[in-house]
Amino acid sequence: MSGLKITLLQQPLVWMDSPANLRHFDHQLERITGRDLIVLPEMFTTGFSMEAANQSLSQEEIIAWMRSKAQQTQALIAGSAALLCERGPVNRFLLVEPEGTVHFYDKRHLFRMADEHHHFVAGNTRVVVEWRGWRILPLICYDLRFPVWSRNRNDYDLALYVANWPAPRSLHWQTLLAARAIENQAYVAGCNRVGTDGNGHHYRGDSRVINPQGEVIATAEAHQATHIDAEISLSVLKECREKFPSWQDADSFLLR
């Protein structure tokens, strides 16, 4: 059955400078070929700023750049950006196909400790994207702490998290990524940034890909600007779920 080749770009971000960040990722993507999915961090054009939606590039400009990179690499390009849309400012996860199709998910759980809920509009729709035989659930940073929103309803194979997750809570990031994989019997990939932002928050990265057993199959060295590659397997996923079918006993939840 189908494999999926994933690349996670664990990189620093230039504070509130979209053109500089796009130039940086231009350089990174020049060297990447033969992948199915390439993932950039949360708010990859600005860093995690509450003013980002008002000062970032437009959605049209960011999508145009992502389309060009998807066509160049022949991969699904994924990452979140702060955008102004008809609903107001959103933290929007964009997933763009080489042929130009755009999928998006707006972050549901806004990080109140940074007052994100006062500056952005929360999303209310869970999204699953189908790509090259895989069902992908895109989620953003703080969403990781809320397992009901991530619950696998037998509708996804890979949960994809992008983040600006600060270093002091790195243990939470690593533990919760593994927990989401185990409890949902799915692959999980988490792409986090490194470096220090304009508010003085430092980021370790700890980007990783985890299999349905909770085992880390690829991980980035902490504090390093780098990228990691992994190939995940639908055959392995199917075997895991058939041998230990705990998913059949999962509770159902009604979200209001």
Question: How far apart, in whole angstroms, are the C-alpha atoms of residue 118 and residue 76?
Answer: 31
Residue in the block written with tokens 């792409």: 191
Provide the 8-state DSSP code for 28. H
Report the SS3 class of residue 70. Answer: helix
Q: Which two tokens stand for residue 110?
A: 């806004």
- Contact status, residue 46 vs residue 62, Cβ threshold 8 Å: no
- Contact status, residue 57 vs residue 74, Cβ threshold 8 Å: no
Greatest CA separation for the chain = 50
Question: How many of the other CB atoms lie within 10 Å of CB of 217?
Answer: 16
Question: How far apart, in whole angstroms, are the C-alpha atoms of residue 166 and residue 169?
Answer: 6
- Contact status, residue 44 vs residue 203, Cβ threshold 8 Å: no
Alpha-carbon Rg for the chain in angstroms: 17
- The percent helix, strand, coil of the chain (3-state, each to 5) is 30, 30, 40
Residue 222 carries which side chain, given as an amino acid letter? A
Which residues are marked as active site?
42, 107, 141
Q: Which two tokens stand for residue 73?
A: 């690499």
